[in-house]
Amino acid sequence: MDQREYYEYARSRYLEYGVDTESAINRLLGVPVSLHCWQGDDVRGFDSDGALDGGIQTTGNYPGAARTPGELMADIDEAVKLMPGKTRLNLHACYAIFGDGPRADRDALRPEHFDAWVRFAAERDLALDFNPTYFSHPMLKNGLTLSSPDKEVRDFWIRHGICCIRIAEHFARKLGKKSLVNFWMPDGYKETPADRIGPRRRMAESLDAILAAGYDPDLVAVSLESKVFGIGVESYTVVSAEFCTEYAARHGLVPLFDNGHYHPTESVADKIPTALLFNDRIALHVTRGVRWDSDHVCRFNDEIRDIALETVRCGGLDRAYLALDYFDASVNRIAAWVAGMRAFRMALLYALCWPHEKAAAFQDGAEFTDMLVITEQIKTAPFAAVWEEFCRRAGVPADWLPEVKEYERKVLSARC
């Protein structure tokens, strides 16, 4: 059987479930997913030589990490060409490029420090998303930034937040594509804190001050990311899930759900329907926690499938900002990017090929036996054929690792 026949067979099998694989494929081709630049260099960035902190950690010493902006951009090119569908690029403020010019501290970053990225994006028709960097910096004092009791520390980071929003507005203007600015602050305590409300009050006031500087909602959307704990911040985080949803709801921000940021048995998939009911927009950081917020490469597993299923079934594909977030230094970093992106795309395609209409009708008719059986049977439908057809139409090979191995041999192995 050639690919065409294989796919036609799969298409007819899916039609028996009322699923149109043609519209699934076409729909997914237009769905953007934002690629995190920080997988390529282990979240080091270009604006400091210090170690990664803020409760996140990259482990592994696989050779070939990008050391310069040029190397990181070349690696992104290599990765993106193997990713099916529309990719956006997600930058962190610590990826500012100063070149021969003077360096600027985080509170004085300006759009021109990202000119090289804007050129890179424009030449490739990529949209840019942005993240202020509230970690790996000496002004992260005693584990706190915007919630610090020290006004000087808070003010520094308030200025950082404001200049990051300006930079993202500049991206949107230059590229003609709206930019998502995501705020994640690592603030928290290792020890059980005596005062739990004070830091949250200061955090809210600092965020208020950033938002008071204003932004153009046609150019940027602002999201807020919560977290349950971090390394060295085990007992308390300031921007907890409740803080995030309450603050976002009251200030028109987009709540961002990172599936590594909850208790291990808590399901982000189950939060999505409620979030989509009460918010115009939601945002996701798709990752793979292994026992803790360990940011492993995404795999095509139950968790990611459930996240994709709820996003699609709840009509959220147009309303969710989708992004990847993980950093693994123990494997080829380009392979990590590509494998993770493909796993999430696969999950989205799987969700688009789910017999939702039939299953939901069974649910409403209290025909739970039929609902159970159809949602079991669909699992063995010939999904591989639909995935391969999707890759073919997206112009990328189904079998991509040989290309990455070749790049490793030619390019990465020269970096030591």
State the residues that interact with ligand RNT by CB under 6 A.
38, 43, 56, 131, 184, 225, 227, 258, 285, 293, 325
Q: At its nearest, how many Å lie between Zn ion and the CB of residue 181?
A: 14
129: contact with Zn ion by CB under 5 A: no
The residue (of 160 and 285) whose beta carbon lies closer to Zn ion is 285
Question: One-letter amino acid identity for 410?
Answer: K
Q: Residue 389 binds what, of ligand RNT, Zn ion, none (CB under 5 to 8 Å, by partner type)? A: none
**Please, which residue, 258 or 408, has the CB nearer to ligand RNT?**
258
Question: Contact letters (x/-) for Zn ion, 207-246, by CB under 5 A?
Answer: ----------------------------------------
How many Cα atoms are found within 13 Å in the side-chain-facing hemisphere of 255?
A: 27
CB 254 within 8 A of CB 282: yes
- Which positions ≥6 away from 375 have C-beta within 8 Å? 355, 359
Residue 342 contact partner, candidates ligand RNT, Zn ion, none, CB within 5 to 8 A by sort of partner:
none
- Non-local (6+) Cβ contacts of 232 within 8 A are 55, 143, 190
Nearest alpha-carbon partner for 385 in 24, 18, 17: 24
Q: Does 285 bind Zn ion (CB under 5 A)?
A: yes
CB of 256 to Zn ion, least distance (A): 7
User: Which is nearer to Zn ion, 275 or 381 (by Cβ)?
Assistant: 275
Q: Does 325 bind Zn ion (CB under 5 A)?
A: yes
* Cβ at position 79, least distance to ligand RNT in Å: 17
Q: What is the DSSP string of 23-75?
A: HHHHHHHT--EEEEGGGTTTT--SS--SPP-TT-------S----SHHHHHHH
d(C-alpha 356, C-alpha 367), whole Å? 14
**Minimum Å distance from CB 288 to ligand RNT?**
12
**Which neighbouring-strand residues pair with 221?**
180
Q: What does each C-alpha distance from 410 to 171, 407, 414, 415 come to in angstroms?
A: 33, 5, 7, 10
Q: Label residues 188-224 b or e (16+ Cβ within 10 Å = b).
A: bbeeeeeeeeebbebbbebbebbbeeebeeebbbbbb
Please report how close the Cβ of residue 274 comes to ligand RNT at its closest, in angstroms. Answer: 21
Contact 107, 163 (CB under 8 A): yes
> Mask: binding to Zn ion, 249-268, rule CB under 5 A, as x and -?
---------x----------
| Residues designated catalytic | 184, 225, 227, 258, 261, 285, 293, 295, 325
How many Å apart are CA 95 and CA 46, to the nearest integer? 5
Q: List 219's β-bridge partners, or say none.
A: none
How far is residue 114's CA from residue 117's CA, in Å, rounded to a whole number?
5
CA-closest candidate to residue 186, choices 201, 199, 176: 199
* Partner in contact with 56, chosen from ligand RNT, Zn ion, none, beta carbon below 5 to 8 Å by kind: ligand RNT
| Residue among 56 and 385 whose Cβ is closer to ligand RNT | 56
Provide the minimum distance between the beta carbon of 146 and ligand RNT in the complex, in angstroms, as a whole number. Answer: 15
* Binds 38: which of Zn ion, ligand RNT, none (CB < 5-8 Å by kind): ligand RNT
Find the shortest distance in angstroms from Cβ 52 to ligand RNT: 9
Specify the residue, 227 or 333, whose C-beta has the smaller distance to ligand RNT: 227
Give 202's contacts (C-beta < 8 A, 6+ positions apart).
Answer: 146, 147, 148, 149, 154
Nearer to ligand RNT by Cβ, of 92 and 345: the residue is: 92
Which residue of this chain has its Cβ atom nearest to ligand RNT in the complex? 184
By the rule CB under 5 A, 271 interacts with Zn ion: no
The angle at the Cα of 201, spanning 197 to 206, to the nearest 5 degrees, equals 150
Task: For Zn ion, give the closer residue by CB, 36 or 356.
Answer: 36
For residue 215, which of 256, 263, 183, 260 has the smallest C-alpha distance?
Answer: 183
**Judged by CB under 5 A, how many residues of this single chain contact Zn ion?**
3
By beta-carbon proximity to ligand RNT, the closer residue of 289 and 397 is 289
Residue 343 binds which of Zn ion, ligand RNT, none (CB < 5-8 A, kind-dependent): none
Query: Residue 178 binds what, of Zn ion, ligand RNT, none (CB under 5 to 8 Å, by partner type)?
Result: none
Residue 285 CB, nearest distance to Zn ion (Å)? 4
The whole-angstrom distance between residue 335's C-alpha and the CA centroid of its chain comes to 17
295 is a site residue for Zn ion (CB under 5 A): no
Residues forming contacts to Zn ion in the complex (CB under 5 A) are 258, 285, 325
